[in-house]
Structure 1
Amino acid sequence: MSRTGAVFLFLLGLLVAAPVHAQQRTPQPGATPSAGKPEKSAKPKKLSRKERRALAQRADIESMQMQKRPLSEKDRELSEAFFVDGLRYLMLEDYNKALERLLKAYALNPANAAINYKIAETNLLSGNLSDATNFAQTAVKLDPKNAYYYLLLAQIYSSQKQYDQAIKVYTTLIKDVPDSGNYLFNLADLYMAQGKLNEALSTFEQAEKKFGPIDEVSFKKQQIYLKQNNLDKALQEGEALIAANPDEIRYVLAQAQMYAANSRFPDAIRVAQQALQQDPSNPQARMILADVYRQQNNPQESQKQIKLAFESPGLDIDSKVRILIDYIKQLPNPALNQPALELAEITTRTHPKEAKAFSVAGDIQTITDNKPAARTSYLKALQLDNSKFQIWQQVVLIDAELNQVDSLLLHTDQALELFPNQASLWFYNGVAYMLKKQPTKGVKALEYGRKLATDNPELLAQFDTQLGDAYHELKDFAKSDAAYEAALVFDANNAQALNNYSYYLSLRGEKLDKAKEMAGKLVKQNPDNDTYLDTYGWVLYRLKDYTGARQQFELALKTTKDATVIEHYGDVLYQLGERDKALAEWQRAQKLGGASPLIDRKIKDKKLYE
């Protein structure tokens, strides 16, 4: 058995033995006991609760007194040495060694309150709440006038969510320990944490009677009244706070907010303007006014107040970002687009060194379809902090959407230096090289990125589609076809793969039936897309179905002025014998620009070349 266990068994034995010893009868002088005859005893008197408690306390004290024994000077010095050593390890947060030393001190001097207290504290810090409770209770019993012992015991009970026990400890502390009235505030807070609002309110009132009016107490009483839905009392307490502290603007703002939250709009405006008289640039007062005016359906005045709040140096960047994110959740919205853009501009102007200001401005500009401005904002954010991959991604997406190939190549190269394992950056880098007519570099980037996208089937299919285009440009048709096939395995309706695969097959004059099937499927799904109609028409042309091809080209020409489509239409007219019309279409295609290199010969010779 451990030493600690032996000590506890010894204590338990004493506690059990003590009452028996106390009940032994001692013969009174002159009394003659009756031999062999039991003495008739009077019926025991029933004890009151107070008397039972007093007896229990006396038994505890007697038990502890029995633990006390005279210490030799050597034992006393040894106990103190162990105690000091334990405190040293406790300060170093080495709880195992601290507890080992303190228990050695306890074995020599178990009735020492300070030793019990420190053992309890060490157990609390190390998570042994059961032992912490026992030793803290003993410390309190040994020295019932030491407030710190009560506080530790209350803390231990609270850690175990035994709030009723903690409340009892505070109550006893306040009643039994002199000059402990200040702990009324702790007791009231404990009541509040439990939701015992009436008890908390009563305790705060006790504290006010003892110490006089205290601002923080009034503020907490106000919160209790609000939780009790006693608005009048809460407002009354708030007005009293303001009257007692006319220069304390936080109470004015809290009162204005309370009026606003309860739709007391005239009072909210009055008190918020009172705050502005004290501090004309106070952003919280402006935001309260903005909310009130919004609820009163006065958007112009509401926006004016928000802008004034954003102009104030007192409104920090994080608060502004939170407000702007609330706007983002409601965008796009014709009524909010411009106000959001204006607030974003103020934010970047008043916080020119904050990356997050430009980032959130870029988000708002993106959603409201101001893409060039958004890219400028994102790039400014990256100048201040280039560590956010999401911002690089936004820049790259805008480059691609705006078809600004040089920017796309530049920004993907820059981003890949920081994030070489991001597959999407390799994808757009490959696309940029393809658009720059550098298919070899495009293939290299796409193949590398594809290896990083194996856990993302959708992105993998996009890589395969682009590789189909890239390998076609390199005239590696086997790899091109394989890439398209892989993309279509993931998504049989992949429009880009269906269109480009079928078109390139038609150019090569290979697998034309397969090309017809794919192009026909695409047109069926997208009957008004002129690009897809042109592809289907060209596949039919290569199959010598000139009538069918003409029909597709004429449908396409309803919505496009693309020179390639017009040239194709001229070709099919030529095949149908309408050569004058064919020449006119070729000439129209030539004038628009973008037709095939054969267009000049076709016009000069008035003859079809393929």
Structure 2
Amino acid sequence: MKKSAFIILFLVLQCNSALLWAQTEPEEIKLDTDQFQELFYESLLQKGIENYDKAIVALDKANKIKPNDATVYYELGKNYLALKEYKSAYNYFENATKIDPKNKWFWIGMYDVSYETKNFNQGITVINKLIEFDPKYKEDLTSLYMGTNQYEKALALIQELNETYGKTDRRELYKSQILSVGKFQNMEITNLEDLIVKNPQDEFNYISLIFLYSKNNEETKAFEIVKKLEKAIPDSEWAQVSLFKNYLDANDAPKAIKAMNVVLASSKIDSKIKHRILNEFLIFTDKNPQYSPDLEKAVNYFDNDSSVDVAKEVGKFFHAKKQWEKAIIYYEKSTSKGIGDTVETNLLLLQAHTEMKQFDAVAKKSLALVETFPTQPQFYYYAGLANNQLQQFKKAKDLLEMGMDYVVENKELEINFNIQLGEAYNGLGDFKKKDLFFSKANQLLKEKKQ
């Protein structure tokens, strides 16, 4: 019995001893905690002075004391990101989210790496998680869709954000880029039509749709939307486009002119629409010349239009109808601006003056143009023609002979030069040379007809 009791007591003591050996003394627990905190704060200190390598060493030591700590992983991620060691940074941020998926800063770390490395597809996955924390991250998602050419998703998201938060310049720029790709324009047209039905007082949607149609040269459809706008918002500047058309059709010129001037002065209205309105008023003025002064004023609105030389085009309109006096007015408006093809405009101007037999003006203008464009033979020709008509034969001869040197592969012009030289020598009494140049002109005419 004693022996058995002794054995049992021995085993109990042995068990107690094993339990004691397996436990850590309280002092050791406190020591480890203090050491972890010291290492963690040391890492923050080193990161603050941009010693990222030393910060990582401290965090690695802390991780050994307290493994799988989400905050340690997050700090490791930040330091590796600062060192541009993106793969390690991403892995540590990702490990942190696995431990604590509800901490948005860990996801932001992953997104920062994706952004830095331009890994937009990876960024989309991360940002969709961040949207769960804050819907405003959808702004970033829009940019990521643009970066990955997912235009359909981007356009849908832009429309959602516009309705929820209102428009922004950046989103409108993205939208413009998307709509430059033809296949997305039908989507936007449908969307704008729906928005107009939902909110008929929002002028912006009408204007956007008008611009879209105008850009595609669908002017008829654009005007249909203008009419809808006029009914919904009569005070709109865009509504004046429709009113102008209505007044013009009703032959109510004063009201049409008033509406036209509002449209032409507007900074909101597309230049194509303005050009169309001016063209309609030009045709109206041709039939109702009493409104010519209003046409001149209207053309002035286009002085800074670099896309089309409106004054020149109006001049050509009257030129084609042989209304030389009116053509001269608009050619002179055009040349005074000094834009576009001034050579062509000046040639048209000289021709119009010639048709009006205003040879003093032709002589004066052509001589100035010869000095400005010394290699343009047409200006020498007009100078010679005008001086012949003014009986300044010597001056005509000299100018024509100089200009002839610049005539290259232009039989029509060469014929005209020879005729005018014949006229000049005839005026000077040199009939031999007169016959010579007229003979050359006749020969060139025969060659031209062959």
Alpha carbons of structure 1 residues 152 and 444: separation in structure 2 relative to 1, 3 Å: farther
1:184 corresponds to: 141
Distance in structure 2 (CA, Å) of the matches to 1:220 and 1:331: 35
Distance in structure 1 (CA, Å) of the matches to 2:268 and 2:316: 16
Distance in structure 2 (CA, Å) of the matches to 1:438 and 1:339: 41
Alpha carbons of structure 1 residues 325 and 141: separation in structure 2 relative to 1, 3 Å: farther
Distance in structure 1 (CA, Å) of the matches to 2:252 and 2:445: 50
Distance in structure 2 (CA, Å) of the matches to 1:460 and 1:450: 7
1:315 corresponds to: 266
State the Cα deviation string for residues 484-520 of structure 1 (Å, max 9, x = none).
Answer: 444345431679xxxxxxxxxxxxxxxxxxxxxxxxx
Distance in structure 1 (CA, Å) of the matches to 2:87 and 2:414: 67
SS at match of 2:330: helix
Aligned length: 341
1:409 offset after TM fit, Å?
1.0
SS at match of 2:405: helix
Among 230, 238, 248, the alignment partner of 1:272 is 230
1:372 offset after TM fit, Å?
1.1
State the Cα deviation string for residues 115-164 of structure 1 (Å, max 9, x = none).
Answer: 659xxxxxxxxxxxxxxxxxx8898678782645534654xxxxxxxxxx
1:403 offset after TM fit, Å?
1.4
Q: Does 1:236 align with 2:172?
A: no
Distance in structure 1 (CA, Å) of the matches to 2:143 and 2:251: 45
Alpha carbons of structure 1 residues 114 and 323: separation in structure 2 relative to 1, 3 Å: same
Distance in structure 2 (CA, Å) of the matches to 1:262 and 1:378: 31
- Asked if 2 retains the 8 angstrom alpha-carbon contact of 1:309 and 1:315, the reply is no
1:338 corresponds to: 287
2:114 corresponds to: 150
1:212 offset after TM fit, Å?
3.5
SS at match of 1:276: coil
2:186 corresponds to: 227
Q: 1:274 is aligned with what amino acid?
A: A
Distance in structure 2 (CA, Å) of the matches to 1:491 and 1:262: 48
Q: Does 1:393 align with 2:351?
A: no
Distance in structure 2 (CA, Å) of the matches to 1:354 and 1:201: 32
Distance in structure 1 (CA, Å) of the matches to 2:156 and 2:385: 73
Among 142, 164, 167, the alignment partner of 1:212 is 164
Distance in structure 2 (CA, Å) of the matches to 1:461 and 1:469: 12
Q: 2:164 is aligned with what amino acid?
A: G
Q: Does 1:472 align with 2:429?
A: no
User: Which structure: greater helix fraction?
Assistant: 2
Q: Does 1:461 align with 2:418?
A: no
Tell me the TM-score normalised to structure 2 length: 0.57
Distance in structure 2 (CA, Å) of the matches to 1:317 and 1:394: 34
1:185-204 alignment, distance < 5 Å: 185-189=142-146, 197=152, 199-200=153-154, 203-204=157-158
Alpha carbons of structure 1 residues 472 and 146: separation in structure 2 relative to 1, 3 Å: farther
1:423 offset after TM fit, Å?
1.2
Q: Which has the higher contact order (CA 8 A, sep 6+)?
A: 2
- Asked if 1 retains the 8 angstrom alpha-carbon contact of 2:265 and 2:301, the reply is no
1:431 offset after TM fit, Å?
0.6
Alpha carbons of structure 1 residues 311 and 204: separation in structure 2 relative to 1, 3 Å: closer
- Asked if 2 retains the 8 angstrom alpha-carbon contact of 1:464 and 1:487, the reply is yes
Alpha carbons of structure 1 residues 406 and 392: separation in structure 2 relative to 1, 3 Å: same
1:420 corresponds to: 374
State the Cα deviation string for residues 67-101 of structure 1 (Å, max 9, x = none).
Answer: xxxx9xxx979xxxxxxxxxxxxxxxxxxxxxxxx
Distance in structure 2 (CA, Å) of the matches to 1:368 and 1:267: 34
State the Cα deviation string for residues 456-507 of structure 1 (Å, max 9, x = none).
Answer: 3432332123223323333434433443444345431679xxxxxxxxxxxx
Q: Does 1:373 align with 2:322?
A: no
State the Cα deviation string for residues 524-558 of structure 1 (Å, max 9, x = none).
Answer: xxxxxxxxxxxxxxxxxxxxxxxxxxxxxxxxxxx
- Asked if 2 retains the 8 angstrom alpha-carbon contact of 1:238 and 1:255, the reply is no
Distance in structure 2 (CA, Å) of the matches to 1:113 and 1:182: 24
2:9 corresponds to: none
Alpha carbons of structure 1 residues 399 and 174: separation in structure 2 relative to 1, 3 Å: same
Distance in structure 2 (CA, Å) of the matches to 1:264 and 1:317: 15
1:171 offset after TM fit, Å?
1.5
Q: 1:275 is aligned with what amino acid?
A: I
- Asked if 1 retains the 8 angstrom alpha-carbon contact of 2:241 and 2:260, the reply is no
1:410 corresponds to: 364
Q: 1:311 is aligned with what amino acid?
A: N
- Unaligned segments of structure 2, at least 5 residues: 1-45, 53-78, 95-108
Alpha carbons of structure 1 residues 351 and 271: separation in structure 2 relative to 1, 3 Å: closer
Distance in structure 2 (CA, Å) of the matches to 1:482 and 1:389: 31
2:250 corresponds to: 300
State the Cα deviation string for residues 146-193 of structure 1 (Å, max 9, x = none).
Answer: 645534654xxxxxxxxxx85x244234135676432122245568x6
Distance in structure 1 (CA, Å) of the matches to 2:220 and 2:310: 33
